[in-house]
Amino acid sequence: MRMTQFAQRFCKKTGILELMDDLGQAMAGSTEMRMLGGGNPAHIPEINQLWRARTQEILNNGQELEETLANYDTPRGKESFLEAMAELLNQKFGWNLTGKNIAITNGSQTAFFLLLNLFSGHDTKGQLNRVMFPLCPEYIGYADQAVEEGALATRPAKINLTRPGFFKYGVDFDNLEISDDIGALCVSRPTNPTGNVLTDQEVHKLSALAASKDIPFIIDNAYGAPFPNILFREATPFWDHHVILSMSLSKLGLPSVRTGILVGSEEIIDAVSACNAVLSLSNGSLGQTLVHPLVKNGDLLRISDEIIRPFYAERAKTAIESMQDAFSTDIPYRLHECEGALFLWLWLPELPISSFELYQRLKKRNVLVVSGHYFFYGLEEDWDHSKQCLRLSYAQDPQDFRDAAFIMADEIRKIMDQNP
């Protein structure tokens, strides 16, 4: 078989492939694995009940099932859904959107494949443009998405020690030069993997930097406001004409309907919609149909505020307590301030082995985590910190998390004893 450079880039064993393989096997329940890897949202009973009732309603409602299953949408999505989404965001945040500012993608993962390749790679003048992620560590899912090699750049975060046992990353503006080959800035907010939420000040500064260079500022809002709103600190949602805001239905508890929602200028949305037509004709409608009435009557925001956010806030609190109980005072560790998303980010500054080796040892003990090194791509220099972190999802069963925390602590103590 003679394959291409494209095949070499996209068929190799990437971090995201390993992560999704681990996740699929663990969620299929085929092992005893304690699942702290992957980004699967929790199964929240009230939310699952809502999707069940809504599915029943679709079945009973005249032609709604046939209209959902038996028609292609436009490459932008379902017009009525796009209008309703624009209306919801305008009402909630005072933005001035129309349906033409919104496009649906096959999950937000696909949205990023399109965006990162619209703004990185060779331009018509032959210059290699790059997308800049100003705060590294950043979401593993972007790392291998650029078609062209060397098209993503990142800058190491500044580490701020906030209180005993905790820290928070910040954008190192002193070392953030936006050279002329940077085609866009991109951040996830809340950040996967760390649970960081960029401050309003950081967001305004990045936005101004992007505007001054006439490039887009992409904000990945997969966990943010107004839905699913897995946010535990004050953070003002942000949009402007040069901003591309990415949202998703996945973390509402609907990862399998693969529905991403992009908000941007009409020019951007037209570009994404043209790509959708070439790649997929149109995207699946089921997610849009399921949540459409909840977008119209505002229930999407109510369930996010009243059910989803408190659910994860409670899980985060008990997960932190479990870590503190298990690690006590003899293991040097810090947790990133848990400000949103589904993860604790554990920093082991004196770990004598790499985080990947620790991941492998923990997997043998039926604890699945994600090695932090995957999230440090695109750096210009080696950084020890990149081998000292683990991402721990707290979305699944709290008792499993607690057991896993004690196994992790036990394994780390053994490693420290073997390497005094």
Interface residues toward ligand PLP, by CB under 6 A: 39, 107-109, 139, 141, 188, 192, 220, 222, 248, 250, 255, 260
Cβ proximity to ligand PLP: between 248 and 402 the closer is 248
Closest to ligand PLP by CB, 337 vs 402, is 337
Can you say whether the dihedral through the CA atoms of 270, 275, 277, 278 is positive or negative? positive
Are 334 and 347 in contact by the 8 Å Cβ rule? The answer is yes
* CB closer to ligand PLP out of 231 and 409: 231
Instruction: Please identify, using beta-carbon distances, which residue of 199 and 283 lies nearer to ligand PLP.
Output: 283
| Residue 387 CB, nearest approach to ligand PLP (Å) | 22
Work out how close the CB of 108 gets to ligand PLP at its nearest, in angstroms, rounded to a whole number: 3
- The residue number whose beta carbon is nearest to ligand PLP equals 107
Q: What minimum distance in Å lies between the beta carbon of 251 and ligand PLP?
A: 7
Shortest Å, Cβ 47 to ligand PLP: 16
Q: Which is nearer to ligand PLP, 167 or 343 (CB)?
A: 343
For residue 251, CA distances in Å to 289, 308, 404, 420 come to 17, 9, 23, 42
Q: Which residue has the tokens 């953070």?
A: 235
Sign of the dihedral through C-alpha 110, 386, 189, 165 = positive
Q: Residue 189 or residue 334: which is nearer to ligand PLP going by CB?
A: 189
Shortest distance (Å) from residue 73 CB to ligand PLP = 17
Give the shortest CB-335-to-ligand PLP separation in angstroms: 19
Q: Closest separation between CB of residue 139 and ligand PLP, Å?
A: 4
Shortest gap between Cβ of 109 and ligand PLP (angstroms)?
3
**Which one, 23 or 84, has the nearer CB to ligand PLP?**
23
**68/108 with CB nearer ligand PLP:** 108
Closer to ligand PLP by Cβ: residue 255 or 293: 255
80: left (phi over 0), alpha (psi -120 to 50) or beta: alpha
For residues 129 and 283, which CB has a smaller minimum distance to ligand PLP in the complex?
283
7 phi/psi in degrees, rounded to 5: -60, -40
Quote the CA–CA distance of 223 and 93 in Å, as a whole number.
Answer: 17
Would you call the peptide bond into 228 cis, given omega within 30 degrees of 0 as the criterion? yes
Distance CA(203)–CA(175), nearest Å, equals 16
Task: Give CA angle at 272 (214, 225), nearest 5°.
Answer: 75
Residue 64 Cβ, how far from ligand PLP at the closest point, in Å?
24
Q: Is 248 exposed, middle or buried (0-12, 13-18, 19+ CB in 10 A)?
A: buried
Nearer to ligand PLP, 189 or 402 (CB): 189
Q: How far is the CB of 214 from ligand PLP (least distance, A)?
A: 25
Query: Rounded to the nearest whole angstrom, what is the least distance from the CB of residue 255 to ligand PLP in the complex?
Result: 5
